Amino acid sequence: MNRREILKIAGAAAVGAMILFNIAHASSTSAKGLPIKVAGYDYDRVRAIMDGLVGTEGAVVDFHVENIYGLNQSAFGSERKYDVTELGLIPFVTKYINNDFRAYTLIPVFISRIFRHRNVFVHVDAGIEKPEDLRGKRVGTTGYGMSANTWIRGFLLDDYGVKADDMQWIETTQSSDKGKLNAGFAKYYFADDFPLVLGPPNVDESELILSGGCDALINAITPRVVLEGNPKVKPLFPDVRAEEQAYYKRHGVFPIMHVVAIRTDLINKHPWLPKAVFEMYSKAKQQTYTNLESTTVLKTTLPWATQEFESTRRIMGKNYWPYGIEANRKELELVMRYVYEQGLVKHRLKFEELFHPSTLELMEP
């Protein structure tokens, strides 16, 4: 065999080896599963996902931490860089109904919830001592249509008889947390004479109330004036904890702020994904419950975390942060009622239409 023939055989062998390597590599990558980019806040209830302790069979999860401003902007804009994302529930509802938004589909993982009695603040000189005193008052807000404000207007009506148009709404042009606000009003569907005006340029909600431009603030964020401890502004409800617990005991409602959504085109290609992602989030939350139960070490920086956990369960039940449709039916029905009554959407819709059909019957163990 001459030198040329030897080189020819060696070259063929190298090509064959490269082909085998590529096949093996592709097989290995395929075996790992579908790569999915997941995004949201770094809550304790998603920590197990972030740390890789909990995942989903058939997928490789890459978790990105981002705030709700960026998450909503990415999903509702053209970028849509995340496959699975946390979104504002009420912003999603309004986009779905008003703009036929279908790029993402919800699953019943209600990742952010908070009672909102803590988000009503009043000027000490405004003569507001109880919710009913808000009638006829000027109320500043960084966004009339924000989720928190929608829930607040809901309980003001249901528990105290104060209607949205009983107050004079002022939507500020700046937010003291430096969050980016809409330029001008969002699209609303209430009467032309509804009492809502745009605030002065370059004035945030804290400056507005201190300058006498409004009597109260109803706001998703805690205003800077409150964080700084200014004595001129106080909470409407002096004992917020007691008020919020009483609300839960009356209604059995834990207000939903954010939800998890999956790209619709990805679901169409991988119809198993909604159920798998639901189970991933549920397992991660269960890991948080386990951590809170532990008395061996404290994994949260609170000395009486275990006692707080036990107290919460006595009031709200063992799984007080439930996922799934049936466990959240009251909250979802209220959301759909509130967005319509408060002029955020042009027509009513049943909440089930927002969620992927494969998730409607999902329940946690």
Asked if residue 3 is part of any domain, the answer here is no
Alpha carbon 177 to its chain's center: 18
pLDDT, one tens digit per residue, over 2-33 is: 444 443 444 444 444 443 334 333 333 344 79
Same-domain status, 168 and 245: yes
pLDDT for res 15 = 41
Determine contact, residues 201/170, Cβ cutoff 8 Å.
no
Whether this prediction's pTM lies above 0.85 is answered by yes
Choose one of 199, 223, 251: the last residue of a domain.
251
- Write the DSSP symbol of residue 163: -
Residue 195 pLDDT exceeds 60: yes
Same-domain status, 246 and 130: yes
pLDDT, one tens digit per residue, over 112-135 is: 999 999 999 999 999 999 999 999
Q: Can you give the CATH number for the domain in which 162 is found? A: 3.40.190.10
- Write the DSSP symbol of residue 130: S
Asked if residue 24 is part of any domain, the answer here is no
CA dist., res. 27 & res. 20, Å (int): 10
Confidence of residue 59 (pLDDT cuts 50, 70, 90): very high
pLDDT for res 23 = 37
Asked if residue 133 is part of any domain, the answer here is yes
Q: What is the CA radius of gyration of the chain?
A: 25
The percentage of residues in the chain with a pLDDT greater than 90, rounded to a whole number, is 83
CA dist., res. 216 & res. 226, Å (int): 12
Same-domain status, 197 and 318: no
Same-domain status, 177 and 237: yes
pLDDT, one tens digit per residue, over 243-301 is: 999 999 999 999 999 999 999 999 999 999 999 999 999 999 999 999 999 889 988 89
Same-domain status, 56 and 139: no
Separation of first and last alpha carbons in the chain: 71
Choose one of 218, 236, 251: the last residue of a domain.
251
Same-domain status, 243 and 330: no
CA-CA distances (angstroms) from residue 234 to 34, 204, 209, 212, 229? 50, 17, 11, 15, 9
Asked if residue 94 is part of any domain, the answer here is yes
Same-domain status, 122 and 214: yes
Q: Coil, strand, or helix at residue 169?
A: strand
Same-domain status, 110 and 121: no
Same-domain status, 210 and 272: no
The phi-psi region of residue 184 (left if phi > 0; otherwise alpha if psi is between -120 and 50; otherwise beta) is left
pLDDT for res 13 = 45
Asked if residue 347 is part of any domain, the answer here is yes
The number of distinct structural domains making up the chain is: 2
pLDDT for res 12 = 46
pLDDT, one tens digit per residue, over 310-343 is: 999 999 999 999 999 999 999 999 999 999 999 9
The DSSP string of 259-313 is EEEEEHHHHHH-TTHHHHHHHHHHHHHHHHHHHHH-SSS-SSS-TTHHHHHHHHH
CA dist., res. 332 & res. 272, Å (int): 24
Choose one of 251, 284, 315: the last residue of a domain.
251
DSSP H stretches of helix in 41-192 = 47-50, 68-76, 89-99, 147-160
Of 99-113, 181-195, 341-355, where does mean pLDDT reach its minimum? 181-195
Of 6-15, 42-51, 87-96, where does mean pLDDT reach its minimum? 6-15
Same-domain status, 133 and 240: yes
Asked if residue 337 is part of any domain, the answer here is yes
Q: Which domain holds residue 145?
A: 117-251
Asked if residue 225 is part of any domain, the answer here is yes
pLDDT, one tens digit per residue, over 165-175 is: 999 999 999 99
